[in-house]
């Protein structure tokens, strides 16, 4: 924060700020945002980062899952959020089938979030199976927030929105996935719907910050869906 006369100016949150907060034991605070007014309010409240989540399919568009939302729709909402976020980092969420087909298509779509949407980073679901994408994004100067545990785009394979990592085998796999995305170059990692003791173990085993959603209090930060926080959605995402 810099002082000019009587006006305090907050600098834009960066990747380095995320890493510094983990090293200093300070919590990272995040919300989702999908438009200018809510982005402005969240930014003024002091959020470190705003995620333009594919959850907009459910809480904004009224769909049953996140799967139908398109790249063009995500870019549209990211652009609005970017206009409202003066200080918070804006992170665009890669929608279903925007990165699965090929590395080249994934890089092209991720780049749209930065170039067209005004985001500073992207989020992508998956572990070791997307590490080649993380490497490619990093080489293209696109910071990556990874996401493991309950990954909503895999809802059909998982058989619903269920807590992950409860068996010994599943715990071991998630620990390995966390290390894999760190090694690939992700700067932070979302842990969704996993046991809190596992989230604590992962958080202590990697050098990048963990952001929890339904993963207990031991992560380096937390993220919630804006519409859940203020009661605008009839279901909990």
Active-site positions read 192
Residues 230-235: contacts with CB under 8 Å, at least 24 apart? 232/59, 233/58, 233/59, 235/58
Closest CA to 121 of 100, 92, 160: 92
Length of the chain: 237
Alpha helices in 49-102 (DSSP H): 56-59, 71-84
Query: How would DSSP label each residue in 130-177?
Result: GHHHHHHHHHTT--EEEEEES-GGGHHHHTSS-----SHHHHHHHHHH
Residue with token string 């300070």: 26
Give 172's contacts (C-beta < 8 A, 6+ positions apart): none
Q: How many angstroms separate the CA atoms of 64 and 207, rounded?
A: 36
Give 141's contacts (C-beta < 8 A, 6+ positions apart): none
- Residue 71 CA from chain centroid, whole number: 16
């Amino acid at each position: 924060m810099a002082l000019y006369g009587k006006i305090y100016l907050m600098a834009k949150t960066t990747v380095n700020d995320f890493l510094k907060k983990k090293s200093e034991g300070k919590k990272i605070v995040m919300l989702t945002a999908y438009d200018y007014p809510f982005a402005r309010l969240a930014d003024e409240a002091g959020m470190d980062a705003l995620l333009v989540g594919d959850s907009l399919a459910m809480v904004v568009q009224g769909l049953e899952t996140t799967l139908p939302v398109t790249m063009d729709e995500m870019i549209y909402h990211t652009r609005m959020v970017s206009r409202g976020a003066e200080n918070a980092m804006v992170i665009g969420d890669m929608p279903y089938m925007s990165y699965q087909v090929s590395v080249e298509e994934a890089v092209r779509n991720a780049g749209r979030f930065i170039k067209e949407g005004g985001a500073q980073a992207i989020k992508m679901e998956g572990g070791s199976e997307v590490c080649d994408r993380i490497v490619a994004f990093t080489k293209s100067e696109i910071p990556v927030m990874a996401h493991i545990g309950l990954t909503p785009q895999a809802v059909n394979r998982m058989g619903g929105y269920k807590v992950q990592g409860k068996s010994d085998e599943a715990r071991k796999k998630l620990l390995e996935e966390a290390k894999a995305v760190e090694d690939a170059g992700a700067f932070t990692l979302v842990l969704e719907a996993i046991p809190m003791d596992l989230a604590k173990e992962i958080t202590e085993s990697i050098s990048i910050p963990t952001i929890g959603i339904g993963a207990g209090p031991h992560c380096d930060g937390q993220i919630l869906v804006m519409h859940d926080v203020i009661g605008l959605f009839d279901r909990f995402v």
